[in-house]
């Protein structure tokens, strides 16, 4: 480390008086090990957090002045100078601490973490979007019919964009431009969605006593303006959202910004509508599908403190809130909060870290909290609020298992007679039903009846999934698609390829045969590809234009469909196969969420689980509704072996183009594995997805007691092994997926 004033006493020729040139560390948004030192030229005075332009490989890059000197060994005379200090608001200290924290915890390069927080393109200033209003002094020209329609559509209210105005008036954009040229319209800044201030004092729904108590506790946590974590644990339909919106209201009263993380923002149209009902304006939205312009404007509005409430996917955690007053993680048990590519982090856990670093309360919301969260409650680290009843006297649905050994479906079919009968009853009463199967496409496997050949992905250790409507076989891991071949590629037999097992497409076909009059809607990521499609689907269901919904895990999200009274789970055993650490926990959570869609209003709900093992603890817990007991038993099974949440895990995933290279590197890592009391290393072993996108994969798993941090062990371990070119070692701290 070299102090910045090393060349003490040297005067800056012609520089600002008293300014001493020195070196400063600059973190660049790339996966380098740390910041680089740069020389501060005369006349510049960059401070930690400032955004600066610096030379890097003959280019100029935007970086952030970091805190600790980098201490890189570049001698003073070889240092390159900072080119400019940008006029943008500096990165806040709490954000810099957060970036360092995430990098240290996940072992990701700090620059790569910073890249998530620094949207370089957001720095480019651009004018706020402009629209049109009536010109103040309107020239008295004779108006054409089209122009009159434009003025009528515009009214006296807010300005509107060219596109919106043209659409409303039923004219072309040229008409609008012509009117602007003629002085009939004047340009005006458009209000951005999400940046209007919600009114916290607009009355919300009248809360029940139970809801009032919970919301009062949350409001107090917000008003305390300090760090705390509260778990809001309420049964499905108990009004958790209404309750935490009261905490958001309190945060707004405090004049601070609130962040709400949702696992799948694209499926959250009902949430957004509810927010608007409560606060009369829309929140700002943040996810990966935004246009770059909206992204830029949103990022800047957040930085300027002008987006009072942001609802977003996990990446919203890295938005530059100057003073966040509340972070809510809804459906905290969802694995969608774990980011698996790039920086591998768990947004729920990092939300808690972010809240701590900026001294704000965090609220974790779920009907089925994760065991990690429950353990934190039991250890006294988190506080728990419970809502044990559904709102408005609605009862929790009755859940029953259908034993498929006793009630087998017809040959080649997948819906058992008791489920078919229940569907029939439901439609007869004019109510809605839902069939849940967490599998896209028509069939998960295609087999040749003549030679037994199975259609496999050329790039992955995975079967190809038939998508009959598209006449394709697809790999759900790498995206490979091919047409369904006319003959078996192995033996050449004709008409021998047979679909094995069901996906939602096949269930839809079966339902159509059985109930031709029922209006069907398939909800899967390929049929409901984006926010608009999801909103449309939800509206169709709400308007009772649909009798039967058939869907993948998309249907398990927080939907509220008041007329839905029957949920059928086609294959309740599906998630238990393959069995990773959390298979049982996750299956209970998912099926409980799906079940929670039934009977949310007056008419009681019913849930039928098709299973081959009704005696399995997971099925018994769901049927008896004793989730807490199940979770407690699950915890007791993990405790003795120091499995999470009673111990820590980190995975190393070794991958290479050639199997031998992957094996050799994995073997070397295995030999260098840390050994100590309370530390275990499992593997190396081929990953279940042994080949992914053509890369051969091996896994090692480090397990430690809870009181032993994995990061120092991992760092020493990785430093001890030279990984050859072409071999990658990915680190996954607190792994959720073991594929
Ligand atoms: P959860 O998030 O716990 O599943 P929600 O917040 O979605 O429950 O509430 C379920 C339904 O009940 C929603 O339509 C919600 O608007 C309604 N609701 C909940 N609490 C109230 C209340 N106090 N007054 C009126 N409607 C309520
Ligand atoms: Zn593949």
- As a whole number of angstroms, the distance between CA 482 and CA 495 comes to 17
Average pLDDT, stretch 192-200? 77
Average pLDDT, stretch 654-662? 97
Structure confidence at residue 483 (pLDDT) = 96
- Which of 235, 241, 328 has the most ligand 1 atoms within 8 A of CB, as the residue to mutate? 241
Domain covering 3-118 assigned CATH 3.40.1440.60 in the classification: yes
Write the pLDDT tens digit of every residue in 389-432.
Answer: 999 888 889 999 999 999 999 999 999 999 999 999 999 999 99
Q: How far is the CA of 348 from the centre of ligand 2 (A)?
A: 29
Ligand 1 atom at minimum distance from 234 CA: 3
Ligand 1 binding pocket includes 210 (Cβ within 6 Å): no
The pLDDT-based confidence of 292 (bands split at 50, 70, 90) is: confident
209-392 has the same fold as 3-118? no
Average pLDDT, stretch 103-112? 97
Q: Residue 534 in contact with residue 267, Cβ under 8 Å?
A: yes
Structure confidence at residue 558 (pLDDT) = 85
CA geometry: angle 251, 257, 262, nearest 5 deg? 95
- As a whole number of angstroms, the distance between CA 678 and CA 674 comes to 11
Q: How far is the CA of 19 from the centre of ligand 2 (A)?
A: 59
With a pLDDT cut of 90, the percent of the chain lying above it is 73
Q: Name the most confidently modeled range: 124-133, 260-269, 728-737.
A: 728-737
Q: Residue 625 in contact with residue 584, Cβ under 8 Å?
A: no
pLDDT at 157 over 80: no
Ligand nearest to the CA of 271: 1
Structure confidence at residue 14 (pLDDT) = 34
Ligand 1 atom at minimum distance from 562 CA: 14
Q: How far is the CA of 464 from the centre of ligand 2 (A)?
A: 8
With a pLDDT cut of 70, the percent of the chain lying above it is 94
209-392: CATH number: 3.40.50.300
Q: How far is the CA of 206 from the centre of ligand 1 (A)?
A: 11
Structure confidence at residue 11 (pLDDT) = 31
- Which of 236, 272, 391 has the most ligand 1 atoms within 8 A of CB, as the residue to mutate? 391
Structure confidence at residue 74 (pLDDT) = 76
Structure confidence at residue 530 (pLDDT) = 83
Ligand nearest to the CA of 695: 2
Ligand 1 binding pocket includes 268 (Cβ within 6 Å): no
Average pLDDT, stretch 368-381? 96
Ligand 1 binding pocket includes 330 (Cβ within 6 Å): no
Ligand 1 binding pocket includes 593 (Cβ within 6 Å): no
Architecture of domain 394-439+502-634 in this structure: 3-Layer(aba) Sandwich (3.40)
Topology of the domain comprising 647-733: Alpha-Beta Plaits (3.30.70)
The pLDDT-based confidence of 15 (bands split at 50, 70, 90) is: very low
Domain extents in the chain: 3-118, 130-189, 209-392, 394-439+502-634, 647-733
pLDDT at 112 over 50: yes
- As a whole number of angstroms, the distance between CA 432 and CA 544 comes to 8
Instruction: Tell me: cis bond preceding 684? Omega within 30 of 0 counts.
Output: yes
Q: How far is the CA of 240 from the centre of ligand 1 (A)?
A: 7
User: Which of 12-16, 48-52, 315-319, 360-364 has the least mean pLDDT?
Assistant: 12-16
Average pLDDT, stretch 18-26? 68
Ligand 1 binding pocket includes 339 (Cβ within 6 Å): no
Structure confidence at residue 442 (pLDDT) = 97
pLDDT at 127 over 80: no
Structure confidence at residue 68 (pLDDT) = 75
Q: How far is the CA of 254 from the centre of ligand 1 (A)?
A: 25
- As a whole number of angstroms, the distance between CA 347 and CA 335 comes to 10
Q: Residue 468 in contact with residue 505, Cβ under 8 Å?
A: yes
Alpha helices in 429-517 (DSSP H): 504-514
Average pLDDT, stretch 129-149? 77
CA-nearest residue for atom 5, ligand 1, is 239
Ligand 1 binding pocket includes 242 (Cβ within 6 Å): yes
CA geometry: angle 669, 673, 678, nearest 5 deg? 155
Write the pLDDT tens digit of every residue in 64-101.
Answer: 999 876 566 778 788 899 999 998 889 999 999 999 99
Q: Residue 117 in contact with residue 345, Cβ under 8 Å?
A: no
Ligand 1 binding pocket includes 239 (Cβ within 6 Å): yes
- Which of 239, 268, 385, 562 has the most ligand 1 atoms within 8 A of CB, as the residue to mutate? 239
Q: Name the most confidently modeled range: 82-91, 290-299, 709-718.
A: 709-718
Please count the CA atoms within 13 angstroms of the CA of 401 that sit on its side-chain side. Answer: 22
- As a whole number of angstroms, the distance between CA 503 and CA 465 comes to 9
Q: Residue 147 in contact with residue 175, Cβ under 8 Å?
A: yes
Write the pLDDT tens digit of every residue in 572-621.
Answer: 999 998 768 999 999 999 999 999 999 988 889 999 999 999 999 999 99
Please count the CA atoms within 13 angstroms of the CA of 564 that sit on its side-chain side. Answer: 29
- As a whole number of angstroms, the distance between CA 340 and CA 104 comes to 17
Structure confidence at residue 9 (pLDDT) = 29
Structure confidence at residue 291 (pLDDT) = 82
Q: How far is the CA of 62 from the centre of ligand 2 (A)?
A: 37
**pLDDT: is 22 or 114 the higher one?**
114
Mean pLDDT of the chain: 91
Q: How many CB atoms lie within 10 A of CB 577?
A: 9
The pLDDT-based confidence of 509 (bands split at 50, 70, 90) is: very high
């Amino acid at each position: 480390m070299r102090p910045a004033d090393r060349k003490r006493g040297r005067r800056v020729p012609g520089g600002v008086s008293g300014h001493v040139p020195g070196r400063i560390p600059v973190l660049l948004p790339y996966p380098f090990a740390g910041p680089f030192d740069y020389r501060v030229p005369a006349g510049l005075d960059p401070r930690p957090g400032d955004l600066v332009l610096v030379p890097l490989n003959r280019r100029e890059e935007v970086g952030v002045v970091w805190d600790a000197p980098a201490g890189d060994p570049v001698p003073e005379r070889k240092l390159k100078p900072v080119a400019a200090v940008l006029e943008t608001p500096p990165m806040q200290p709490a954000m810099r601490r957060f970036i360092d924290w995430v990098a240290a915890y996940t072992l990701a390069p700090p620059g790569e973490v910073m890249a998530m927080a620094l949207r370089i393109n957001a720095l480019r200033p651009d004018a706020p979007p402009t629209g049109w209003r009536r010109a103040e002094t309107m020239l008295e020209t004779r108006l054409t019919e089209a122009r009159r329609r434009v003025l009528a559509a515009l009214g006296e209210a807010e300005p509107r964009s060219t596109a919106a105005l043209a659409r409303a008036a039923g004219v072309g954009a040229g008409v609008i431009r012509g009117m602007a040229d003629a002085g009939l319209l004047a340009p005006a800044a458009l209000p951005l969605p999400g940046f209007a201030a919600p009114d916290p004092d607009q009355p919300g729904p009248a809360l029940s006593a139970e809801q009032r108590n919970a919301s009062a506790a949350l409001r107090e946590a917000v008003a305390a303006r300090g760090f705390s974590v509260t778990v809001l644990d309420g049964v499905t339909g108990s009004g958790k959202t209404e309750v935490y919106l009261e905490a958001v209201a309190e945060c707004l009263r405090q004049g601070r910004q609130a962040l709400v993380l949702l696992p799948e923002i694209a499926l959250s149209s009902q949430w957004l509508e509810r927010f608007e009902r409560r606060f009369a304006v829309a929140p700002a939205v943040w996810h990966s599908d935004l246009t770059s312009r909206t992204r830029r404007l949103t990022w800047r509005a957040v930085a300027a403190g002008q987006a009072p409430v942001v609802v977003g996917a996990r990446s919203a955690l890295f938005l530059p809130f100057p003073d966040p007053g509340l972070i809510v993680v809804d459906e905290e048990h969802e694995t969608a909060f774990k980011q698996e590519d790039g920086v591998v982090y768990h947004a729920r856990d990092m939300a808690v870290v972010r809240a701590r670093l900026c001294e704000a309360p965090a609220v974790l919301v779920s009907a089925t909290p994760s065991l990690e969260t429950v353990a934190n409650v039991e250890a006294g680290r988190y506080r728990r609020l419970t809502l044990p009843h559904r709102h408005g006297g609605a009862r929790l649905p009755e859940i029953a298992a259908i034993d498929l050994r006793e009630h087998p479906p017809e040959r080649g079919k997948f819906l058992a007679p008791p489920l078919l009968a229940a569907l029939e009853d439901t439609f007869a009463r004019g109510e809605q039903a839902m069939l849940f199967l967490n599998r896209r496409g028509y069939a998960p496997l295609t087999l040749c009846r003549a030679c037994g050949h199975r259609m496999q992905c050329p790039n992955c250790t995975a079967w190809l999934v038939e998508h009959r409507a598209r006449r394709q076989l697809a790999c759900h891991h790498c995206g490979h698609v091919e047409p369904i071949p006319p003959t078996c590629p192995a033996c050449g037999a004709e008409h021998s390829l047979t679909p094995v097992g069901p996906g939602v497409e096949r269930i839809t076909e079966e339902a159509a045969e059985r109930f031709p009059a029922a209006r069907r809607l398939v909800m899967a990521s390929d049929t409901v590809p984006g926010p608009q499609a999801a909103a449309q689907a939800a509206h169709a269901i709400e308007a009772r234009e649909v009798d039967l919904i058939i869907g993948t895990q998309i249907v398990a999200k927080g939907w509220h469909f008041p007329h839905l009274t029957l949920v059928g789970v086609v294959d309740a055993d599906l998630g238990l196969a393959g069995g990773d650490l959390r298979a049982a926990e996750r299956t209970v959570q998912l099926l409980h969420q799906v079940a929670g869609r039934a009977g949310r209003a007056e008419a009681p709900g019913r849930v039928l689980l098709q299973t081959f093992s009704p005696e399995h603890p997971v099925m018994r817990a769901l049927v008896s509704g004793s989730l807490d007991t199940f979770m407690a038993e699950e915890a007791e099974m993990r405790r003795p072996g120091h499995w999470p949440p009673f111990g820590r895990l980190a995975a190393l995933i070794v991958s290479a183009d050639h199997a031998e290279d992957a094996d050799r590197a994995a073997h070397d890592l295995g030999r260098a594995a840390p050994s100590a009391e309370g530390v275990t290393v499992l593997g190396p072993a081929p990953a279940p997805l042994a080949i992914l996108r053509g890369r051969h994969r091996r896994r090692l798993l480090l397990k430690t007691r809870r009181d032993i941090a994995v990061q120092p062990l991992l760092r020493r371990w990785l430093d001890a092994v030279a990984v050859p070119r072409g071999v990658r070692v990915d680190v996954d701290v607190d792994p959720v997926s073991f594929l």
